[in-house]
Structure 1
Amino acid sequence: MKADFKAYLVTGILTIVLLGGCAGQTSEKESVPSAGSPETIASGESELASSESVKDMTVFEAQDTEGNTVSSDIFSESRLTMINVWATYCQPCLREMPELGQLAGEYDKSDFQIIGIISNVQEGAEEKQTTKAKSLIEQTGAAYPHLYLNESLFNALLTDVAAVPTTFFLDEEGNILDTVVGAREKEDWKELIDSLLEDLSQ
């Protein structure tokens, strides 16, 4: 019963925070054109809190869409990790995922990797929900790990996410380097990725 209560609590909070729609474009470093015309969200929810207020992402454990357990150890596999928080109802999220899939294959895994977090599908969700998420991942060609939401991920990150897509860039120790709210074109992402990798090389 306790587990069920937590599940309902997480679902309720997510509904309040994310149901408003998808994000406009905002970046802690710079503003770049978004991919397509992202839907606006409820007033007061267009910005993500600064990285100082984001919870510690260095400790979490979750399940991916293939049934594998993924922990925070995954950050150590690449110098730079891109965490893309998306939802199955978010059209800007889905529009940028094909190009994210391309980017994931254009870098050496030791340098860069992408991880998706499906913000509106929890671990243990009904098969209808998980099947829809998997189908969208396949349709968009976003062939990188995607994690179902659980309490660990929610407490670690999503308490401060006001809209989707929201994207975090982290180093191999799990430190957040940059945050972007809203979808982007491939070349804009590539420019930011290359810039962050260059910074990490210094």
Structure 2
Amino acid sequence: MKKRLLILGFALMMMASATACGSQSSTDKDGGNAKTESTAASTDKKSQKFPEFKAKTVTGEDISSDVFKDNKLTVVNVWGSWCGPCVAEIPELQKLYENMKDKGVNVIGLAQDAGTDMDAVKDILEKNKVTYQNVVPEGAVTDFVMSIQAFPSTFLVDSEGNIVDKIQGGRDLESFTKAVEDALNKM
């Protein structure tokens, strides 16, 4: 049983790293890599909702989907400790959080492997001096995370829990800031 779980976990990690971790989206005309995909537009003009959830953060605090109500926009970054591009963009997300928190923008990490490798997740967060909340997926959020085909994936969620934009692949501060500002201007 333990061997089967280990093989399944390894297979999932290999699939995820082969399909997304090292891939980048095409670049925009200015040479940046801030291309985003409008999730709302791809769902027949019907907004896709982020799954409602009640969970714990990596530090043991209670958190729920009510967190979206507290801000104009929440940047939800789905990452894994095993994914190089995921880990590389964490300092950029920390800077985004520091720069935008007074403008009604929050950042939340969704640590895909926090339930299985909490030590690795905590180590990465500590090394990068992360102060934004990171959630341990459970319930509907686990199903949502498992449906993602590219890591990292970042979702821009409005105060009503609607996913207003999606970014696949690693980004830098400038790209994240542009995506957030574009989303805020459309609201």
TM-score (norm 1): 0.73
Deviations 1:169-193 (A, max 9, x none): 0100010111111011111111111
Specify the SS of the correspondent of 1:73.
Answer: helix
Name the residue aligned to 1:154.
Answer: 142
* Superposition map of 1:4-23 within 5 A: 15=13, 18=16, 20=18, 22-23=21-22
Describe the SS at the equivalent of 2:86: helix
Q: Which amino acid aligns with 2:132?
A: Y
2:75 is the counterpart of 1:77:
no
What SS does structure 1 have at the residue aligned with 2:113? strand
Name 1:39's counterpart in structure 2: none
Structure 2 vs 1, CA of residues 14 and 79 (structure 1 numbering), >3 Å: closer, same or farther? farther
SS of residue paired to 2:112: strand
- CA–CA separation in structure 2 for the residues paired with 1:69 and 1:13: 31
Partner of 1:169: 156
Partners of 2:103 and 2:69 lie apart in 1 by 9
Q: Against the structure 1 CA distance between its residues 158 and 49, is the aligned structure 2 distance closer, same or farther, given a 3 Å change threshold?
A: farther
In terms of mean alpha carbon deviation, does 108-117 or 83-92 score higher?
108-117
Tell me how far apart the structure 1 counterparts of residues 146 and 39 of structure 2 sit (CA, whole Å).
13
1:92 maps to which residue?
A: 85
- 1:124-159 CA-to-partner distances (Å, cap 9, x unmatched) read x4xxx212211101112232100112122123x224
Asked if the contact 1:97/1:141 (under 8 Å) is kept, the reply is no
Assess, with a 3 A threshold, how the Cα gap between structure 1 residues 180 and 192 changes in structure 2: closer, same or farther. same
Contact preservation (8 Å) 1:116, 1:146: yes
Cα distance per residue 1:5-36 (max 9 Å; x no partner): xx99x969955753536152349xx797459x
Q: 1:165 touches 1:183 (CA, 8 Å); kept in 2? A: yes
Q: TM-score, normalised by structure 2?
A: 0.78
Partner of 2:128: 140
How far apart, in 2, do the equivalents of 1:66 and 1:79 lie? 25
Higher mean C-alpha deviation, range 110-119 or range 77-86:
110-119
Gaps of 5+ in 2: none
Deviations 1:60-96 (A, max 9, x none): 1111011011101000011001100000011111111
Contact 2:25 / 2:33 at 8 angstroms: preserved in 1? no
User: Residue 115 of structure 1 is aligned with which of 108, 131, 144?
Assistant: 108
Once residues 125 and 159 of structure 2 are traced to their aligned partners in structure 1, the CA distance between those partners, rounded to angstroms, is 25
In 2, the alpha carbon distance for the partners of 1:117 and 1:85 equals 5
RMSD: 3.2
Inter-partner Cα distance in structure 2 for 1:12 and 1:173: 36
SS at match of 1:115: strand
